[in-house]
Amino acid sequence: DAGITQSPRHKVTETGTPVTLRCHQTENHRYMYWYRQDPGHGLRLIHYSYGVKDTDKGEVSDGYSVSRSKTEDFLLTLESATSSQTSVYFCAITPGGPGDPGNTIYFGEGSWLTVV
């Protein structure tokens, strides 16, 4: 296991409420990612971080914000949850620079979010 903990693992929330998912790593890796996985779409990148307070958008960032105040924690916030954000959310980490030829990415176990 890569030392990644996601919380909560399962959550049901109502439309319009804020939701925060937490990713905690014990590996001291620089890069952290949030993906969502949906049937027919595979895995899509929401946001990623390349250091404390350094974040950037992925391909499906609308409606999401992130924060990284410590190396080990990367938070994903849905400011006002919508039904289209019902999904499985995965946190991932990678050491060093992602462009390095030898780098692989390690995933957490996922957070199942249902917006009703």
Q: Kindly tell me which of 14 and 104 has the beta carbon lying closer to other proteins.
A: 104
Contact flag: residue 95 with other proteins (CB under 8 A): no
Strands (DSSP E) contained in 1-116 are 4-7, 10-13, 19-25, 31-38, 42-51, 54-57, 64-70, 73-78, 87-94, 106-107, 111-115
- Number of residues binding to other proteins, judged by CB under 8 A: 28
Stretch that binds other proteins, among 18-26, 32-40, 61-69, 70-78 (CB under 8 A): 32-40
> How far apart (Å, rounded) are the C-alpha atoms in residues 30 and 46?
17
Draw the binding track, 2-21, toward other proteins (x: CB under 8 A; -: no contact): --------------------
Among 21, 33, 68, 74, binds other proteins (CB under 8 A): 33
Among 50, 61, 73, 95, binds other proteins (CB under 8 A): 50
First to last CA, the chain: 33
The β-bridge relationship of strands 111-115 and 87-94 is antiparallel
Residues that bind other proteins (CB under 8 A): 33, 35, 40-43, 45, 48, 50, 56, 58-59, 90, 92, 94, 97-99, 101-110
